[in-house]
Structure 1
Amino acid sequence: MYGTRVVVIGAGIVGAACARELCAEGFQVTVVDRGRPGGATTAHGEGNVLVSDKGPGAELELARLSRRLWPEVLAELPAAEGVEWDAKGGIVVATTESGARALTEFAEGQRAAGIVAEPMDAAALGDAEPHLTRDVTAAIHYPEDAQVQPVAAATALLAAAGVTLYTRCEVTGALTDSGRLTGIRTTGGDLPADLVVNAAGPWAGELSAVLGVPIDVRPRRGEVLVTTPMPPTVFHKVYDADYVGAVGSGSAELQTSAVVESTKAGTILLGSSRRQAGFDDRLHLGALSAIAAKALRLFPGLAGVSVMRAYGGFRPYVPDHLPVLGADPRLPGLWHASGHEGAGIGLSVGTGRVLRDLITGRRPEIDAGPFRVDRPAVLGGAR
């Protein structure tokens, strides 16, 4: 593998994790980004490393692999001292009887798949989150849920990889020879490569079309509110059970749910929303209002707290809600690592490990078949 030239397109956290794994194999890795490292989707995420929001199946297995790898990867990064890692756990709550039944059933399925999902009674919930509403019909504690500072993590991954990095460099076309991808054309010149990895996040669909083999990855917009710094108020990642439904919805319309968590700086992040609006980057006041209202139902004491900013970002959406990970059979030499939607930060290190194993011919720790590129959800709607 030594001497193999790889170009990774995308310097977000998924591209950075892939670059690190491939560099560790001795590949000569170049990373290309249209902006700056971690400056797009990665910079607009909350840093979630979650198992609580995924039902049994392929994505949950990738999440379990990633959750195990995150502490190991951070321990190996020379620049990891500045990366905030908070294994604070998550609490999912229901506030209706029907929600309680759905949450309990969902947690039972996760436990059968090996996830630690602990029911909490009112006393335990009050001890864990004293400021949370008492109008809760069910609560499940997920001690494996964690949070990482995404931009710092992406930067540390790239620094450890020792890649050649080109920023503000747009991909304009493919270099091919006898039907094989041999590099890319960019605004900074041609870059020959033995392998190219499309890790362009929400732009992966557009990029794949530029390379001549479109995949159906679309942008899905989300917004977050950030409060001013506060005394300790929220001690876990806390969200309403309807968050899982919003994540799994295929609707293009606005989906909102209550997601509340603190940062080590004392601010509180309030989410979340999902809607398909193309690459329109204007904040949606209706989404922000709905986020605030739902957050207040969980934490009424936040009513007098000032919001110091709001931000939004694009997530890479695939209609069947599974990442796209593996070789593109239509164009030898092209690999994809995208389509993680809002879970990319948490799934990044597992994605890098699986991609490395697939490229080097090893058998990945998990079944990568469900993520294959040539499945109907990925190719069926591509244009």
Structure 2
Amino acid sequence: MTNGSSGDVVVVGAGMVGAACALYAARAGLDVILVDRGPVAGGTTGAGEGNLLVSDKAPGPELRLALLSGRLWRELAEEVSSAEELGRAESLGVPEELGTAFEYEPKGGLVVASGPAELAALTGLAAGQRAAGVTAVPVGASELHDLEPYLAPGLAGGMHYPQDAQVMPTLAAAHLARASGARLETGRTVTGVLRGPDGAVRGVRTDRGDLLAPAVVNAAGTWGGEIAALAGVRLPVLPRRGFVLVTEPLPRRVRHKVFAADYVADVASDSAALQTSPVVEGTAAGPVLIGASRERVGFDRSFSLPVVRALAAGATRLFPFLADVRALRTYLGFRPYLPDHLPALGPDPRVPGLFHACGHEGAGIGLATGTGLLIAQALTGRTPELDLFPFRPERFAEEAAE
């Protein structure tokens, strides 16, 4: 097959994680090719809410990655890019902060507890988070309405997380991909991972020719297991479906990302059954986004009225005024789930030159920047800023062998 292009690294997947990997790899001096069978942000990223969260993470490796990523998101948001980088006519000559371009909003999160037991559990979680570097501010029952005037009465209290933020995910992925300067190959399906006689990676095969490079980054999200299989290794990524309701524009009626304390338990659950917990947040554009549901039903894209009804009911319990608000649309996406709820990050010792950056479940937007930096450091032989051992891709093969 005709060889179409060559570089230092091929990143497979042009969602948020792939775009971030391309950005930081390019900033580390590598010649990057970014390839996707669809458009930029055409998969899970395009169905995301854009959350950059620490509030929903217990102390441990994922929280450390979230704190690193949050710092990097803030730094990116403050960068000033040229009009050309922002995709505007260069003749405008109007530089703008990247954060403005992709609607970075450091609005903070508010986790609320319905009763004393939920509040005690939330307080215990927050104590551990603070020890790890999170800012978590207790909010008494009488103070909740100072932060969110339209919250339901009778809640026991909550916790305010000022480090939580939000971006518009499709814009963010597009701007990170453009800022990377990577050669973007969209509409190009990867059909194989090329390997030399020694077993080492030498690029990927696509339906439109080969892309050659001594390193390949698997940032294919929900389809990360399929890319791993093309390289001859197992990575048990499964899709976990979720729906989002979108309301008519309601500027600043909901000021934070607001969710019930049981949402954290749902995120960490291994259950394949349907789970819903109320998550409500405003956006810079005005509409309110309502979630969250989780269920493992494969890649079934069927509309589910019971799920949407459950989301609406949960949202109105938190914010009663929403009962009189129109829902304009609903959409769904598939979170890339791994059994231990940690992404696969870093080099795969089973295939020299293969790196993984997938399996972030519902946290891929928020964890993308830290992932991109760590992958770039691994690609260039530098010591990663975080210990990659908990994220090692081969850990599932180790468990199967025990």
Shift of residue 108, structure 1, vs aligned partner: 1.2
Secondary structure of the residue that 2:229 maps to in structure 1? Answer: helix
Given the superposition, is the C-alpha separation of residues 9 and 124 from structure 1 closer, same or farther in structure 2, using an over 3 Å criterion? same
The CA distance in 2 between the partners of 1:321 and 1:273, in whole Å, is: 16
Q: Which amino acid aligns with 1:226?
A: V
Distance apart, 1:21 and its partner CA: 0.6
**SS of structure 1 residue aligned to 2:193:** strand
Specify the alignment match of 2:41 in structure 1.
38
CA deviation profile, 1:285-308 (whole Å, cap 9, x unmatched): 221111111111100111010000
Measure how far apart 1:235 and its partner are: 0.7
What is the CA deviation profile of residues 172-227 of structure 1, one whole-angstrom value per residue up to 9, with x for unaligned ones?
A: 11211121111111101111111000000000011211222121111111100000
Q: Does 1:238 align with 2:241?
A: no
CA distance in 1 between counterparts of 2:384 and 2:9 reads 20
Q: Where do 5+ consecutive residues of structure 1 fail to align?
A: none
Corresponding position: 1:165 with 2:184: yes
3-state DSSP of counterpart to 1:85: coil
CA contact (8 A) 1:226 1:267 kept: yes
How many Å separate the matches in 1 of 2:111 and 2:255?
Answer: 13
1:315-334 matches, within 5 Å, as 315-334=335-354
Q: What do the CA deviations read for 1:350-372 (whole angstroms, capped 9, x no partner)?
A: 10011111222222222221111
Q: Does 1:93 align with 2:112?
A: yes
Of 189, 214, 217 in structure 2, the residue corresponding to residue 197 of structure 1 is 217
Deviation sequence 1:142-161 (CA, Å, 0-9, x none): 01100011111111111111
1:5 partnered with 2:8: yes
- Could you tell me which amino acid in structure 1 is paired with residue 62 of structure 2? E
State the match for 2:26 in structure 1: 23
Residue identity opposite 1:156 in structure 2: H
Q: 2:375 aligns with which of 355, 361, 370?
A: 355
Residue 147 of structure 1 aligns to which amino acid in structure 2? Answer: Q
Is 1:134 the equivalent of 2:153?
yes
Q: TM-score, normalised by structure 2?
A: 0.92
Q: Give unpaired runs (5+ residues) of structure 2.
A: 1-5, 87-97
CA distance 1:348–1:132, change in 2 (3 Å): same
| Identical counterparts, % of pairs | 54
Between the aligned partners of 2:15 and 2:152, the Cα distance in structure 1 is 37
Alignment-derived partner of residue 147 in structure 1? 166
Deviation at 1:125?
Answer: 1.2
Alpha-carbon shift at residue 124 of structure 1 (Å): 2.2
1:256 is matched with: 276
Specify the alignment match of 1:70 in structure 2.
73
Do structure 1's residue 285 and structure 2's residue 288 form an aligned pair? no
CA RMSD of aligned residues (A): 1.5
Supply the distance in 2 between the matched residues of 1:184 and 1:368 (Cα, whole angstroms): 25
Tell me how far apart the structure 1 counterparts of residues 297 and 382 of structure 2 sit (CA, whole Å): 39
Equivalent-residue separation in structure 1 for 2:235 and 2:107 (angstroms): 36
Distance 1:339 1:77, change over 3 A: farther
1:75, distance to aligned residue in structure 2 (A): 2.7
Distance 1:355 1:206 in 2: 20
Report the equivalent of 1:307. 327
Say if 1:62 and 1:46 are closer, same or farther in 2 by CA, change over 3 A. Answer: same
